[in-house]
Amino acid sequence: MKYDVAVIGAGIVGLASASAVTKRFPGASVVVIDKEPTIGFHQTGHNSGVLHSGLYYKPGSLKADLCVRGQRAMVEFCETEGLPFKRSGKLVVATDPSQIPAMEELLARGTANGLRGLRRINADEIKEYEPHCGGVAALHVPESGVADYQAVAVRLAEKLSGDIKLGQPVERIRSGTGGVEIDTPGGTIEARAMIACAGLHADRVAAMSGLETPGRVVPFRGEYYQLTEAASSLINGLIYPVPDPRFPWLGVHFTRRVDGRVEVGPNAVLAMGREHYRGVRPEFGELARTFAYGGFMKLAAKYWKTGAMEVWRSARSSTYAKTATKLVPEIRGEHLEPGGAGVRAQIVMPDGSLQDDFSMIKTENAIHVLNAPSPAATSSLAIGDHIANLMQGLL
Ligand SMILES: Cc1cc2nc3c(=O)[nH]c(=O)nc-3n(C[C@H](O)[C@H](O)[C@H](O)COP(=O)(O)OP(=O)(O)OC[C@H]3O[C@@H](n4cnc5c(N)ncnc54)[C@H](O)[C@@H]3O)c2cc1C
């Protein structure tokens, strides 16, 4: 059978895109292909579960637009589908007066991005939301919260009117004017058009179909600790630091997840492989390829001190606790238990910069989602709609 659309990747972005395409083009036949045996096996199943509000992103960027629309759509989806979520609200806390200008900058961004109820609060007001949190001032972000993105992906898969082929790694892609032929161990899948949402392998899948990408994926691991049950009562919702504007990640923070556990993290260290989770053997070949990439070496030369500090902190719970203590002074090393880890797919450009915004490339018969790091889970339903718009002319 020849499908109208083949989607590579049964993560939340691939499934949201497949779902949006079936709505935008009624009657279109769709297949979703993934190399893993289950839905949402990689980033979709290894993240903080935070429903980002859209606070951090440059006004006018795809991230700003799709995150704000996406979080509202995600809440509606979870409500309608009876999936767990909570609009717990977030504090972004300045622990030192020197951080206030950066906090004010976030307030301006969030206001420009149209966030509802966003406001600056003082040290006394911080205590009303989070009695154990220190800090000289904070932003209160009511539109933030938590969700279970793997559950969302599974539900999107259940509701999809299309085929899903799991355990089928895409090995080769032949692309021509008539469409695409996608080789998997289970056979060749033909489609008029393709949407590639391959996360950690986005650049490789693009290369398979002959597309030269502007940068390449460098995997950054995020490691978590979890608060002991006794200490978890110190946190009500989400407590974040004011982030370092040089990096797209948000700094070690506290997250009370939908199941009530409180996670601390994630940090950001170079992963020893694109799928280097805890307990998985490092892929030294992949590490060598990262070091051979000029873009990564330029990034490392610029930020080696920050990188070394992250590695040091990663190895010692007491150092991790010290970072967390800045936000919640009662936290001690003994309150932290090792938690999970996830690997972020981040495009690093040849000049050593980290691609900040989401990026999608449209070719004559495909859309390639190249850079979809956080907040892509939050934004996924809006990303799906955006991709369905981009599909105009391909079907
Ligand atoms: C540590 C961490 C914390 C995060 N926290 C948050 C957060 O709190 N909030 C938020 O909004 N976002 C967060 N994110 C980001 C979010 O998880 C991702 O942006 C989102 O899950 C991306 O979804 P995806 O579908 O693009 O990728 P993925 O979920 O990685 O899916 C890609 C799929 O493609 C498949 N694939 C790859 N290559 C092939 C191939 N050759 N053949 C077949 N299949 C293939 C993979 O098996 C995979 O299932 C976090 C990410 C990490 C790592």
Task: Please report which confidence band the pLDDT of residue 315 belongs to, taking 50, 70 and 90 as the band edges.
Answer: low
Q: What is the pLDDT of residues 137-147, one digit of tens each?
A: 999 999 999 99
Question: How far is it, in rounded angstroms, from Cα 274 to Cα 259?
Answer: 28
**How far does residue 134's CA lie from ligand 1's centre (Å)?**
33
Q: 124 CA distance to ligand 1 centroid (A)? A: 38
Which pLDDT value is given to residue 343? 95
Question: CB of 320 within 8 A of CB of 264?
Answer: yes
Into how many domains does the chain fold?
3
List, for residues 191-245, the tens digit of each pLDDT value: 999 999 999 999 999 999 999 999 999 999 998 999 999 999 999 999 999 998 7
Ligand 1: which of 19, 43, 205 to mutate, most ligand atoms within 8 Å of CB? 43
* CATH code of residue 386: 3.50.50.60
Cα–ligand 1 centroid distance for 296 (angstroms):
21
Closest ligand 1 atom, residue 266 Cα: 1
Radius of gyration of the chain (CA): 21
Let me know whether 154 and 13 are in one domain: yes
Provide the CATH number for the domain around residue 234. Answer: 3.30.9
Distances 209 to 258, 293, 329 between C-alpha atoms, Å:
39, 21, 52
The alpha carbon dihedral of 277, 361, 14, 355 has a sign of: positive
Going by alpha carbons, the residue nearest to atom 9 of ligand 1 is 50
Q: Are residues 219 and 284 in the same domain?
A: yes
Residues 297 and 394 in one domain: no
Instruction: Give me ligand 1 centre to Cα 203, in Å.
Output: 14
Look at residue 365 and tell me whether its pLDDT is greater than 80.
Answer: yes
Kindly state whether residues 233 and 372 are assigned to the same domain: no
- Residue 314 and residue 303 share a domain: yes
Range of the domain at 253: 215-352
Q: Within this chain, do residues 272 and 303 fall inside the same structural domain, yes or no?
A: yes
Q: Check whether 308 has a pLDDT greater than 90.
A: no
Ligand 1 site residues (CB inside 6 A) read 8-14, 33-36, 40-44, 46-50, 52, 169-170, 197-201, 205, 222, 266, 342-344, 372-378
Q: Burial, 169: exposed, middle or buried (Cβ in 10 Å; 0-12, 13-18, 19+)?
A: middle
Q: Are residues 48 and 188 in the same domain?
A: yes
pLDDT of residue 346 exceeding 90:
yes
Are 47 and 123 part of one and the same domain? no
Distance from residue 68's CA to the centre of ligand 1 (Å): 19
Q: Around Cβ 137, how many Cβ atoms within 10 Å?
A: 20
Read off the pTM: 0.96
For residues 169 and 176, give the distance between their C-alpha atoms in angstroms, rounded to a whole number: 21
254 vs 339: CA distance, rounded Å: 13
Is residue 270 located within the same domain as residue 297?
yes
Indicate whether 47 and 99 sit together in one domain.
Answer: no
Do 147 and 47 belong to one domain? yes
Same domain, 330 and 207: no
